Structure 1
Amino acid sequence: MHYFTKTLLLWYNENKRDLPWRKSRDPYKIWLSEIMLQQTRVETVIEKYNSFLSRFPTLKSLIESEEDEVLKLWEGLGYYSRALNLRKAAKQIQQMGHFPSNKQELKKLSGIGEYTSGAIASIVFGEKVPAVDGNVYRVLSRYFGIDKNISQSKTQKEFYKLVDSLLPEDRPGDFNQALMDFGSMVCSPKSAGCLMCIFKNGCEAYKKDLVEKLPVKNKLKNRRIKEKTVFLIYNNGKLALTKREKKGILANLYQLPNTSGRLETEKAMEYLRKKNIDFDRLVFKVEKKHIFSHEEWNMRAFELEAKEASAEYIWAQESEIKEKYSIPTAFKQFLI
């Protein structure tokens, strides 16, 4: 066994995080946790994981779920396409007749890629396969002094081979989880705990003062800026909602009526009249911003009382909206 592997597993034995999904080897629960953990902080996932499981404790219960309820429970995690894929994959598993037990079969499910399939296969089924994500690139690039660009597929394949060579036959799942924990708890992106690190004497980045420079990756592209005008349209105490399209950002979620562009009051009134909304007064409410990974929305909101409840919209009490409708944070912030 490689020195790095042995040392990391000894560290993991003493320091592994106490996480709810680690108390089970149920493939459904591990799968759920791995989907939730994609691009989401562990602290955020824990509460959502427990509440989701309390409502959908088994694969069968998820298969029988309603889409809107799944999306509502997903609120706060973001990247809602994961929830849609989770439900879709549950039905795919039903058609298979069994939960896939190896990486290649797992990759056939919606929403499961290279990393997630490796994580589930190794943790649940003990398959000796790598699970390589940002934590792994960071820890190994620093320890071994690898200064190649991790954004390139060639480099990613090299890291995959490196992890494969380090994986122990008897504890592949523990090793993959140990890398996750170590990258999160010690070898963090900023303010890495080098002085207390078990690997500092053998770490190339530490010896050469390259910790802050590794891993090497492409700079993030500037976010696209989009201007939007949002409308809080009331009628007899109920608020108007619409449902977003089935594709694209925030697919299938509910939203406040809105349009592209930053409309001043006169233009906003003109827009509403073209939508055949009859009202007496339009009041500017507030301006808000919401940042996605690749987009930034600058939004201004107007409030009005419609004289009639147009059939074009879904009308609901605000208390009902909070309980029933899955509204992304971008729009929910106007309801606070």
Structure 2
Amino acid sequence: MHLEFDRLFEQARIVDETLLEEYSENWIRPKLLNSPILEENYKGSEESDISENQSQKYKVIEPRDAQIEALYALNKTRQEGYSKALIQAATGVGKTYLAAFDSLSYQRILFVAHRQEILLQAAKAFKKIHQTENIGLLDQDHKDLDAKILMASVLTLSSDQYLNHEIFSRKAFDYIVIDEFHHAAAKSYQKILDYLQPKFLLGLSATPERMDGRSVYALCDFNVPYKVDLQKAINRSLLVPFHYYAIYDDTDYSQMRKSGGRFVIEDLEKAYESSKSRSLSILKHYRKYPSKQAIGFCASKAHASLMARYFTDNGIPERSSLFLKF
């Protein structure tokens, strides 16, 4: 009997952090758990994730799944002496909420992004997690400079008007979040990172690799304590599996204006609105494939509305096709 025990024991591995990390990265959710009954028991109800007391002003939200692992990795990396980190996680895993959870112990927080809609969404997340109304915006139309949690447009914040000792000292913020960190190699982001000196800098990105070959890893001291890519997120049922189709586009872009390396939105909208063949081609490809639930990425809100009307006018209900601004 003891010989059999020794044989099995020799094959055993110590359950340490390395083993747990390997297990987490390679775990694939069993198909058995996809049954409706087990699905409900496994995931739990909404109430198990969000507890609300009628006397409370805010709902209490707790981290889940990959967020818990990432928070552990961030705490560990700070214990090891790092003051910068990049979290690489697929879109939809919950990076903004992760940043809100991780920043709870810091006094003043800065969240930087390049689009106002991202700032507004982040403000809602931080408000829920930090349970505070002391959240402000810094962009073209808002100047909430004294807010405890400041959501700042990179274009506005990077100007000399704000990056100076009269407005913000170099250590004005304890915790800084740079959303879509793959943009951080740009001069506007560099200016912010060179001036401000937080206690901790967190970069968030689903795709840190840049097409122009410039690396952003040096900006976070090459420290990536946690990573969950798209395939791993799907394997763990954090994201829904999907098929991605790119359709040939015969639009002539040669005469379109560019601003900041991108096509001017008004030119794109004008071209797409006048091209019946383009919309028809998209509709034909939608009908070509068996799955009827689809998401189409568009150049702007106006373009998304245009495509939604076109599909609806051609007998495709809105619940079957969703068009989003890319």
TM-score category (smaller protein): under 0.3
User: TM-score scaled to structure 2, two decimals?
Assistant: 0.23
Where is the helix percentage greater, Structure 1 or Structure 2?
A: 1
